[in-house]
Structure 1
Amino acid sequence: MRRKLLSCLLTIACVSSMLAGCGSSGNTSGAADTAPAESKTEAVEGTGTQAAEESAPADTSSVNATGTVYDLGGLKLPICDPGSVTLTYMGNDTWCAGVSYNDGTAVQKEIENRTGVHIEWDTYSSDVETVLQTRLASLEGLPDMVEIPPFDSNVGVDTYSSNGVLIPLNDLIKEYAPNIQALFNKYPALEAMCTSSDGNIYALAGWWGDINDYVPDYLYIRQDWLDNLGLEMPETVDELYDVLVAFKEQDANGNGNPDDEIPMATKNGIKQLYYLMTGFGYDTNSLWYTDDNGEVHYAAVEDQYKDMLAFLNKCYSEGLISDDLDGTLLTQNITEDKVGIVCHDPADNMASSDDLALTSNPECDYEFMPVLQANENGTARMTKRGLTWHYYGITSACENPETAIQWIDYVYASEDGLMLYNYGIEGMSYEYDADGNIQFTDLITNNETYTSAFSALRSIGAWPTYFINDSGEAFMKIFEGTKVETACKDAYGNMEDPFPEMLGTAEESEVYTSVWPDLSTYLDEMFTAFVIGTESLDNFDKYVETAYSMGMQDIIDIKGAQYARYQEIVGK
C-alpha cells in the first residue's frame, strides 16, 4: 500500500509529428466483426460522462481482433497504424511462475493486434524497485511508461515529477483518454488520489476501488473445529478468547494430539493483529480514521488501543497466538492441519487454505469470521482494503505521449481492454453460454499446470501487474458457487471505505520521508514488544511520548491536510 509525495509543474509540447500514423485509418487483415448490439454501446454504462455519451460508436472495421470487440468509450481502434509506434514499459513482471511479459503472452499480443501499438516490455520479478530507482535516478535510458518506486508509498510520484521524469497527464487525459475521464467521473476518489497538490496528475494509481467493494480482508476460522467442539462462531472479544482456549486445550483437529493446535496465526506478521481493534470499541479496523468532527486520528497512540494490546499479550503468554512472528511458517502449519484462525487475509485465500489443510484433514472448512464487536450490540464494521496500489506514469523521454495515453486509456479503463484484462480472450479463456453468460473454458478451470483460476488467467496475461484496475464482478465470477462468493456477498455494501492515501505537497513529502520510516518501524517494533511481553504495558505512556517526540504529530497533521484536500476534490 502507498503513502505521500511532493509536487512540481511540467509542460509538454504537443507536436503534430508525434501523431503521424496515429488514428483509426489503419488497415489490417483478419479483422473481427464488432460486438453484438446488446454488448456494444456508445458509453460505459453508469459513468455519466457527457464526453463518452456524445461520442460516436468506435470504428472497429480495421481492428485485428481474435474475439469480440466491446465498448471502446469513444476511443478509436487501432490507435495507430499497426507497428508504426513502439512504446517501452518498465515495471513488475507477472505474478505467474514461468510466465514473463518480456516473452509475450496471449493477452499482450491481442492488445497489440487491437491497438496497433507495439510495446517493448522491460519487467522484473525480483529487485524491481532497485532497478527502477537506479534507472530513474540516472535520467538516462528512460522508458516511455513506468511503474513508480517506491511501491509501498506514493512519494515517488512527487520525486519524479519534481525532477522532470514524469510529465503531467491532465491535458492528455482530457483530449485523448475518454475512458480514464469516465473512470474519474465514476470514482472521484480515484481522481483525488491521482491529483498532486499543485492540481496536476502525474501518475495513474492502480485502482482497487471496484474489487475491494467485494473482497473482505479480515479473519477466517476453522468451522469444522468449532463444530468438533460444539462452539458458536465468536462475535465478541470474550467469545474469541473462549474459542482460542478451546482450540488449544481440546484437540480441535481431532488427531489425538491435544498440543499441536495453533489457535491463531497471522499471515503478514504479528503486527496485523491490530485487525482485532473493533473488539475494543473502534468503529473499524483502520489505524487511521476520522472522528465525527472530521479530525484525523492514529489509533496506535491512543489509550483505547492499550486495552487491545493487553488482551493480545494475555493471549500470547498463554500460547493462543503463534510465535511465528513473521508468518514464515503459516503455509506449513496450515498444511499440517494446525491453524484455527488466520488473521489478516482476503476472503479468497480461504479456498487456498482449505486446499492446503485438506492434504491432512479431508474435513477442513475455513469460514470468514464476522467483525469482532466490543459487546453484543456493537456496530463496528471492517474496513475495505486500500483503494489504490502502485502508480504508473509517462516519462519525459516519451516521444509519443498522445499514443501512450490512448494505449493506457485502452488497457486501464476501456470496457474492451478490461474484458481482456479480467477474462482473457474470448474463445480461449471464456465463452458465452446459451443465456449469454460468461463461462470460463477448461484452460482456466481445469488447467493441469496452473490449478487456480487466477494463476491460469495470469498465465495468458490476464489480471496483469501494470495499470491495475481489478474487477469485482470478474472476481466473483472466478469464485462463483463457492463459499468465497458467499463471504464476499455478505460483506458487499457492509464495509467502510479506507482512509484515503493522498499525494503530498513537496513540504509534506519532505517531512513524511524524513519522519515516517523510522517512526513506523518504532511503532511496529513496540507493538510486537508489548504483545510478546518484552516490553511492559506499564510503559505505554512512555511509548506514546516517544512516538510524538519522533514526529507523530507532524504525520497526523500531514494526514489531516491531505484528508481535507481529498474531501475538497471528492466533494466538488
Structure 2
Amino acid sequence: MLTSALTGCQSSGEQTKESSQTSESEGKEETNEDNAVTSSGETVTATEDTSSIDATGTVYDLGGLALPICEPGTVELTYMGNDTWCAGVSYNDGTAVQQEIEKRTGVHIEWDTYSSDVETVLQTRLASMEGLPDMVELPPFDSNVGVDTYSSNGVLIPLNDLIEQNAPNIQKLFEKYPALKAMCTSSDGNIYALAGWWGDINDYVPDYLYIRQDWLDNLGLEMPRTIDELYDVLVAFKEQDANGNGDPGDEIPLATKNGIWQLYYLMTGFGYETNSLWYVDEGGEVHYAAVEEQFKEMLTFLNKCYSEGLISDDLEGNLLTQNITEDKVGIVCHDPADNMASSDDLAMTGNPDCDYEFMPVIQTDDSGTAQMTKRSLTWHYYGITSACENPEVAIKWIDYVYASKDGSMLYNYGIEGLTYEYDENGEIQFTDLVTNNETYTSAFSALRSVGAWPTYFINDSGEAFMKIFEGTKVEDACKAAYNNMKDPFPEMLGTAQESEVYTSIWPDLSTYLNEMFTAFVIGTESLDHFDKYVETANSMGMQEIIEIKKAQYGRYQEIVGE
C-alpha cells in the first residue's frame, strides 16, 4: 500500500480493513492493531497494512475502497451546495472533519457553499453551464425534478458504471436499502445523482406531537390516546390553569411549528392508518388524503378547536419559541422527538418543572391501530457534473464520505480524541467539546462546529443519533417508535414528461391546498364549500398529479421487488 500511495490513485480492487492509526503529524508512533471495534461493538480483523494513510485515531472498515484515493496534492475537486447548519462555521473556511477527510483520502476539495440564497446561486450557475463545479447539490430543494432537468441538459453525468467499478460501499448501501437505489434511479435506468439518505436515522426518529406531561399531572389527566381524549385535554389546558401561574386562560393548548396546515398529523384520529397525505390502500391504489371526503371530518374538528381558542392563532409558528419560553404551550405539533429536549430547556427558564413527552399516535377510538409515518427517506440530491475531469476520483471520494464505515464515523461522531473517545468497555463516549460546549450547547451544534453531521451527501446514522441522546427521554421516545412506524410514500424520480407536468402543476396546486386547509381551520372559508374546493383542486391538475405518483409507485415496486 505504501507503494500505491506514492504512485497516485489506487485501484478499486485493493482491500483495506480496520486497524488503529495515529497521525505522524501529531507526533505519535504509528501502530497497527490486529483488531478494531466498531461503534456497534462489532470486531473486524485488520487484514492489510494501512500505515500509508495519514489519519488521526482509528481507521474503520473501508469496505473495499483503498485509501488514500490518490497521492495527496495531485487532485482537487470542487463542491457547490449548502453551507453548514452551525452558526459561525463554514465549509469554505475548513473544519476539523474536512481536514481529516482530506488527510485520509488525499483529495483536496475546494468548497463553494452558501448559507442563504443557495438555490438561486446554484440555479444560475447550472443554467449558464459555465464554471460548473465537479460535484453539486441539485436545486430545487423541495422536489427531485432537478435530477431530470440537469441530466437532460448535460450538466450531470450517469454514475452507473462509475459506481460499479469504483464505489463498493455505495453498491452495498443499495443492496441494504433497495428503496434508496429506487429513488436514485431515473426512468431511463440511469443513476445521475445520489439522494441524501435518511432511511436509517428515520427508523429511529419519530416526528409527531409532544405534550406537557407536568400539565397533565397538574390537572390529574391521562395521556390522550383518542381524538375525543385529545379534545378534553385541550379544553382542560385552556380552562384550568394548567401551568399553575394563577392566570387560567393564558395557556396555548396546541401550537404548530411550521404552519397550521401541518395539523394534518391528527388525521389518524379520523380513520386513516397513518398521518401521511400520500398513501396506498390495500388494493394498491394511490391516494392524496386532502381531497377526500374523510379528510373533511378532521377539518371540521380542527375548525371547532380553533374557534374555541384551543389552537394557537400564531399560524406560522413565528412566536412558538417565545411562547414555549413563557411556559404557555401545552402541545407542539409536527416536530421530531429530539426537539423535546430543546423545548424543555426553553420552558425551564420560566418553569423548572417543565416536562415535554412524546405523544402516542392519536386514534379514532381505543381499538385503533393507526401508526405514524416515518419522516421522508431522502433529502436533496447530489451529482457529478460534466465539467469534472476526474470522475473516478470524485465517485471514490463520494463512496468514502457517503457510504463507507470510516467515512460514516467521521460524519456522525467526528474525530476520535477530539469529539469522542472509547471507554474501558469499548463504548464510544463524547468528549466535553460535545457534552459541555459553552458556545454550542446542543450536541448536534457542537458536532457540526467541527464539520460532523454535514449538509453534503447526507447519510445520517440512527445509531449515532441514539448515542447523542443516550439516557434521555428522547432515547425513550425513539425506542418506543422504533419498528413501530410505517415507511413514507416513496419520492421517485420522474420521467421528462412527468417532471414537466409536475413542475407546471404542483407549485400552484400545493399552495392552494395549504391555503385552503388554513382557511377551513380558521373559518375564513366555510366547510360547506369543501366539494367546491375538491373540484377546484381537480381543475388545477390534482388527478394528473395522482396519476404521476401512481406511475412512479409502480416503478418503485419493480425496483424493490414488492
Q: C-alpha distance in 1, partners of 2:42/2:150?
A: 35
Offset at 1:350?
0.1
- What letter is aligned with 1:384? K
1:196 aligns with: 186
Secondary structure at the counterpart of residue 87 of structure 1: strand
Q: Is the aligned partner of 1:497 residue 2:487?
A: yes
Q: Distance in 2 between matches of 1:263 and 1:56?
A: 57
Q: How does 1:355-504 map to 2 (within 5 A)?
A: 355-504=345-494
The alignment status of 1:570 with 2:560, answered yes or no, reads: yes
Q: Does 1:133 align with 2:123?
A: yes
8 Å contact from structure 1 (residues 34, 68) kept in 2 = no
* Aligned residue in 2 for 1:106: 96
The answer to whether the Cα contact below 8 Å between 1:421 and 1:462 also exists between their aligned partners in 2 is yes
**Which residue of structure 2 aligns with residue 219 of structure 1?**
209
Q: Give the Cα separation in 1 of the matches to 2:42 and 2:164.
A: 19
Aligned partners of 2:386, 2:511: CA distance in 1, in Å? 35
Q: How many Å separate the matches in 2 of 1:225 and 1:287? A: 31
Residue identity matched to 1:255:
N
Confirm or deny: 8 A CA contact 2:36 2:60 kept in the other structure.
no
Distance 1:365 1:61 in 2: 50
The correspondence of residues 25-424 of structure 1 with structure 2, limited to 5 A, is: 30=25, 32-34=30-32, 37-39=35-37, 57=47, 59-424=49-414
For the 8 Å contact 2:257–2:334, the answer to whether it is kept is yes
Q: Does the CA-based 8 Å contact 1:32-1:63 persist in structure 2?
A: no
Q: Give the distance between the partners of 2:561 and 2:8, measured in 1 at CA.
A: 41
Residue 35 of structure 1: how far off its partner (Å): 5.8
1:56-94 deviation digits (Å, cap 9, x = unpaired):
956522100011100000000000000100000000000
Are residues 36 and 284 of structure 1, via their aligned partners in 2, closer, same or farther at CA, if it must alter by over 3 Å? farther
Give me the CA root mean square deviation.
1.9
CA deviation profile, 1:317-365 (whole Å, cap 9, x unmatched): 0000000001111011001000000000000000000000000000100
Aligned counterparts of 1:141 and 1:32: Cα–Cα separation in 2: 42
List per-residue Cα deviations over 1:122-167 (Å, max 9, x = no partner).
0000000000000000000000000000011100010000000000
CA separation in 2, counterparts of 1:141 and 1:20?
30
The one-letter code matched in structure 2 to 1:194 is: C
CA distance in 1, matches of 2:33, 2:180: 29
One-letter code aligned to 1:39: V
Q: Counterpart of 2:69 in structure 1: which amino acid?
A: I
What is the deviation of 1:259? 1.9
Shift of 1:422: 0.4
Number of equivalences: 543
The aligned counterpart of 2:541 is 551
Q: Which amino acid in 1 is paired with 2:481?
A: A
Q: Residue 10 of structure 2 corresponds to which residue in structure 1?
A: 23
Superposition deviation, residue 403 in structure 1? 0.1
Shift of 1:36: 5.0
CA contact (8 A) 1:35 1:68 kept: no
Shift of 1:112: 0.2
CA distance in 2, matches of 1:37, 1:260: 60
Q: Which amino acid letter does the alignment assign opposite residue 415 of structure 1?
A: K
Q: Give the CA deviation at 1:21.
A: 2.5
Q: Is the 8 A contact 1:56 1:74 kept in 2?
A: no
Please tell me whether the aligned partners of residues 77 and 114 of structure 1 are also in contact (alpha carbons under 8 angstroms): yes
2:546 maps to amino acid? I
Q: SS of the counterpart of 1:234?
A: coil
User: Is the alpha carbon distance of 1:264 and 1:249 closer, same or farther for their aligned partners in structure 2, counting shifts above 3 Å?
Assistant: same
The code of the aligned residue for 1:60 comes to: T
Measure, in 1, the Cα distance between the counterparts of 2:413 and 2:507: 39
Alignment check: 8 A CA contact 1:309 1:531 kept: yes
3-state SS of paired residue (1:289): strand
Letter in 2 for 1:116: G
CA apart distance, 1:32: 4.6
Q: Distance in 2 between matches of 1:83 and 1:67?
A: 22
Contact 1:283-1:379 at 8 Å conserved across structures = yes
In structure 1, the residue corresponding to 2:284 is in which secondary structure?
coil
Once the two structures are TM-superposed, the CA of residue 22 in structure 1 deviates from its matched residue by 1.2
Which sections of structure 2, spanning at least 5 residues, go unmatched? Answer: 1-5, 15-22
Q: What is the TM-score of this pair, normalised by structure 2?
A: 0.94
Q: Is the 8 A contact 1:73 1:415 kept in 2?
A: yes
Structure 2 Cα separation of the partners of residues 90 and 206 of structure 1: 15
* Alignment CA distance shift 1:547-1:34 (3 Å): farther
Separation in 2, partners of 1:436, 1:34: 17
Determine the C-alpha separation between the residues in 1 that align with 2:42 and 2:252: 48
Residue 33 of structure 1: CA displacement?
3.7
Question: Amino acid of the residue matched to residue 526 of structure 2?
Answer: S
CA distance in structure 2 between the aligned counterparts of 1:227 and 1:163, rounded to whole angstroms: 60
Q: Percent identity?
A: 83
